[in-house]
Chains A and B, each alone.
Chain A
Amino acid sequence: MMRYSALGVIAQALTGHRGWKPVWRDPVPQASYDIIIVGGGGHGLATAYYLAKEFGQARIAVLEKGYLGGGNVGRNTTIIRSNYLLDGNEPFYEFSLKLWEGLEQDLNYNAMVSQRGIMNLIHTDAQRDAFTRRGNAMILNGADAELLDKEQVRAMYPWLNFDNARFPIKGALAQRRGGTVRHDAVAWGYARAADLRGVDLIQNCEVTGMRIENGRILGVETSRGFIGARKVGVAVAGSSSRVMAHAGMRLPMESHVLQAFVSEGLKPLIDGVMTFGAGHFYVSQSDKGGLVFGGDIDGYNSYAQRGNLPVIEDVAEGGMALMPAIGRARLLRTWGGIMDMSMDGSPIIDRTPVDGLYFNGGWCYGGFKATPASGWCFAHLLAKDEPHKTATAYRFDRFLKGLMIDEKGQGAQPNLH
């Protein structure tokens, strides 16, 4: 199999690019595997890759209903960061950010990891206190954080609406190591690297049932027939409730639609990632020049992968309040993705009551940045039957035991997280 290098690209250019081969195989499913991962998105592919590479597992298959990377990994706004407050979250997300930093070398794949920095704007004194506390929590967990004053923000972005009467900009909490990654390339990079290690990536293969006997998983029924497995890991965030219903489980989550937006291509305007602290609006600029931005979920249960106009208006208002300069830019595209909104806003990576059946989901709208660590920790759980040390809090029973990881303090109301 071809290893990518600059020399290889030049050689292909000189020979009319006729030498490129398909990047992964298209295998026929075998009768059984040691481990089946349901869901060929970022998390599922990363899980399969780390199972093979880091945990010495073999005979692994990834089953994908549609095509690889056709779900949320290709629909998000590509931001990576580790700026969480709570102990259950921050070590995990910092582990993820460290994995992002070495990802391209590890995969031999250009995922365009760009540590262009992320900045959460501060608009009130109380918010500065809260962000100072958050920054300290980040530093205590080995991440980087920096408190910027108004003039430091102004030096970077002089055209922001600093003197907004209601929400003046007072400063920012910055994480310089945060940034963006080309999301499709993450799916492709993991898929190629997993395939190279012998993982069968099986597309157009929908799981339609689970065969469970005496409380133990024997395999999955699929649109391409029964496939046996010793262990099954489900990583299908957005559709978790539908898939886990095959095992008779009700999950602590609702599915919601989150919209994302991109403007027409503009000249370089924003070189990092920015979030508006007074509304829900975040923005970065793609390498093609489009402003990539988003805001709140629509707020009602949905599996539609498209939202409604009121949220588009709300997000546009947030954008205009923060940066009036974009008022003449035209919106190029909007789309939606389906989120597992969990009851405390945090994910679940855990065993289930069924022996050999494992679950990874509940990522709310923070799944993309978690991709490498989610894959690593899920692989750890599948291979060793015990949680990775950064993911010990992501359990199903935390709601029963009162050990919620609720960053926003909203309680069991998924559409407010």
Chain B
Amino acid sequence: MSFEPTVDEKAFNASSKLIRTTALRGTPLEGDSCGNCLYYLQPDDPLAFCWHEKFQCLVSTSWWCQFWAMREE
């Protein structure tokens, strides 16, 4: 018996566009990542909300996108 996943096409397209538009990657870039980004709402947590206008969704500390901004000290 094979399993065919049901994919929400609209959500798939939206997330594909988000990944592409932001150059999102699953690993840090040269020491920078969501974990040390201004827009990562809860810096002490491994997963948190990104409040950049392009995201407004959950991200991981180890991800990176081209909108990375330095967290203010």
Are A and B co-members of a single complex? no
B residues neighboring A (CB under 8 Å): none
A residues neighboring B (CB under 8 Å): none
